[in-house]
Amino acid sequence: MKEPENSGSISIRVPARLKYLSLICAFVESFCKALVSDMPDSDVRALQLALDEVCSNVIRHGYGGECDSTLSIEAQYEERSLCFVITDQGKRFDIDKAEAPPIPPPRESGYGIAIIRRAVDEVEHTWDGQNNITRLTKYIRRTNDVAPTSGDKPDAGA
């Protein structure tokens, strides 16, 4: 497997406004394609979906709505994964205590954490005393490594 020639991290800071979600998604796609040019589109879309969910939840619930506070997103290339670290100063949140909504009956909202967990391989959330820090990790797969019907996470023993 050929490793990307460029590695490291870059970050952006955006106002806590929903109109910037498309900018965040473009940032995710650009970072993925720049470092892993043969990353399957389905993996890029999964990362975009996860970041969109985290950031919209921060805006809606952490900040209580759109405001002039900011979200910081750092994209990191690691040996076999891409990580996105979202930092905000919103209301303290514990992802492990959040309850998933019941499947039936259908609800209009509340599925964000389940969507995030399904879209990425690892989700970590910490509080450093001032900031919520959410780390999303997606293992790198290459287009030629993906079966046409694949979409599942790699096995733990792989």
> Contact 116/138 with Cβ under 8 angstroms?
no
Contact assessment for residue 36 and residue 82, using Cβ atoms and an 8 Å cutoff: yes
pLDDT digits (tens, 9 = 90+) for 106-149: 656 667 888 899 999 999 999 999 999 999 999 998 777 655 54
| pTM of the predicted protein model | 0.81
Per-residue pLDDT averaged across 74-92, rounded?
94
Q: What is the pLDDT of residues 29-56, one digit of tens each?
A: 999 999 998 999 999 999 999 999 999 9
User: Could you give the domains of the chain?
Assistant: 9-143 (3.30.565.10)
Q: What is the pLDDT of residue 149?
A: 46
Residues 6+ away with beta carbon under 8 Å from 156: none
